[in-house]
Amino acid sequence: MRKPHVAISVLVVDDDRDARAMYRMYLMHVGCKVRTARDGHAAITKANAWAPDVIVMDLAMPRLDGWTASRWLKSSPATAHIPIIALSAALAAREHAREAGCDGFLAKPCQPDLLWWEIRALLHPEA
């Protein structure tokens, strides 16, 4: 018997409104449940309230950056299990993203289909 398809829930965090909209529309198109946040503070609040399957985190944001938000999320028992995919235009940010607890890293600009591939690879590595 086949298991029913369960939509993957994704929290997209980016201060760029166009980037949030692009990723949100693409991920909804492939069947994900998507919520967005525009900075690290909103990301922490929404991750705690919603408990998404994965978080897509821009690193360079005003107010509270993605590095700090990722460290906070990974240090909290309520959210530590949620994989975080870091997005950054700075390739040198890859190592710092890992140190902050991010589970994956994609360079910006990042095509939505590559992001979708990375999400599936993190959540279902056996597939």
Where do the structural domains in the chain lie, given as residue ranges?
9-123
For the stretch 30-44, what's the b/e string if a residue is b when 16 or more beta carbons lie within 10 angstroms of its beta carbon?
Answer: eebebbbbbbbebbb
Entry pTM:
0.93
Model pLDDT for residues 61-113, shown as the tens digit of each residue: 999 999 999 999 999 999 999 999 999 988 788 888 999 999 999 999 999 99
CATH class assigned to 9-123:
alpha beta
Phi and psi torsions of 35, nearest 5°:
-130, 160
User: What pLDDT band is residue 2 in, cutting at 50, 70 and 90?
Assistant: very low
Helix (H) or strand (E) holding 86: strand 84-88
Q: What is the pLDDT of residue 124?
A: 84
The CA-based dihedral angle spanning residues 91, 20, 98, 96, taken in that order and rounded to the nearest 10 degrees: 50
Q: Could you tell me what percent of the chain has a pLDDT over 70?
A: 94
Model pLDDT for residues 30-49, shown as the tens digit of each residue: 999 999 999 999 999 999 99
